[in-house]
Amino acid sequence: MPLSFPSHQGLIAPLWRRWPDRFNVLGLCIGAAAPDVVDGTAGIFRGGLGQWFGHSLFGLFLFCLPLGVALTWLVVVAGRGMLARARREAGGHEWCAWLGRHIEALNNTPADNSPFERFLFVCSSVWLGGFSHLVFDFVSHGYFLWLYPWATNFRVFPSWWYARWADIPLPGYKHPYPLGPHVLVWVFLSALGTAMLFWPLLRRRKRP
């Protein structure tokens, strides 16, 4: 799977850069990491990492959506706390002010909407971010878990896609990770997403 951060956020960057008013950008980005957060947390109790309910359509609604909304709210609260601290205490808190301002900018829910409309706006952004994670993992992983738990490791690609060139032992995984064609796609998407997220920042730094 592409890295939870920054590649998943970068891969959907064209959406929130082209139409920033249509999404809660903070919720969209947090939702894009939610499936890995869900399955990573579950892995502590399951005794090993790996894709599970968080990478299924069922888990997207049952776990990723409420967790993503809760994390979005917590980050907004933390950002406002940082801004308040920077205003109260002069000096030494520039990073708090900088981070707080960026969180406020990403939390671009329309202020004139009702509380319920703002909630739905955040929910839809978190869900879309989580769904984008499933889409990109679909083409960068050896298995298809969208229908889990009713269908496990459902194969939709040609047989060559599942070629196993070697096994890679990874910390936290019960079994070695298979090295095959999908890993090359994983590397490509991870690099592409990272570049797409940070490229505008690099371009600004290069300008005289």
What would the mean pLDDT of 20-26 be, rounded to a whole number?
93
What would the mean pLDDT of 124-149 be, rounded to a whole number?
91
Q: What is the pLDDT of residues 95-115, one digit of tens each?
A: 888 889 999 999 998 888 899
pLDDT at 1: 47
Residue 56, CA atoms < 13 Å, CB-side half-sphere: 18
Which residues does residue 154 pair with via DSSP β-bridges, in sequence order?
144
The fraction of the chain above a pLDDT of 90, given in percent, is 54
pLDDT at 92: 61
Whether the pLDDT of residue 139 is over 90: the answer is: no
Which residues does residue 34 pair with via DSSP β-bridges, in sequence order?
none
Whether the pLDDT of residue 48 is over 50: the answer is: yes
Whether the pLDDT of residue 33 is over 80: the answer is: yes
Q: What is the pLDDT of residues 160-171, one digit of tens each?
A: 888 899 998 888
Q: What is the pTM of this model?
A: 0.90
Q: Contact, 68 vs 126, CB < 8 A?
A: yes
The 3-class secondary structure across the chain, one letter per residue, is CCCCCCHHHHHCHHHHHHCHHHCCHHHHHHHHHHHHHHHHHHHHHHCCCCCCHHHCHHHHHHHHHHHHHHHHHHHHHHHHHHHHHHHHCCCCCHHHHHHHHHHHHHCCCCCCCCHHHHHHHHHHHHHHHHHHHHHHHHCCCCCECCCCCCCCCECCCCHHHHCCCEEECCCCCCCCEEECHHHHHHHHHHHHHHHHHHHHHHHHHHCC
- Could you tell me which of 199, 193, 198, 197 has the C-alpha nearest to residue 2? 193
User: Quick one: tokens of 97?
Assistant: 């002010």
pLDDT at 207: 56
Cα gap 202→74, rounded to integer Å = 29
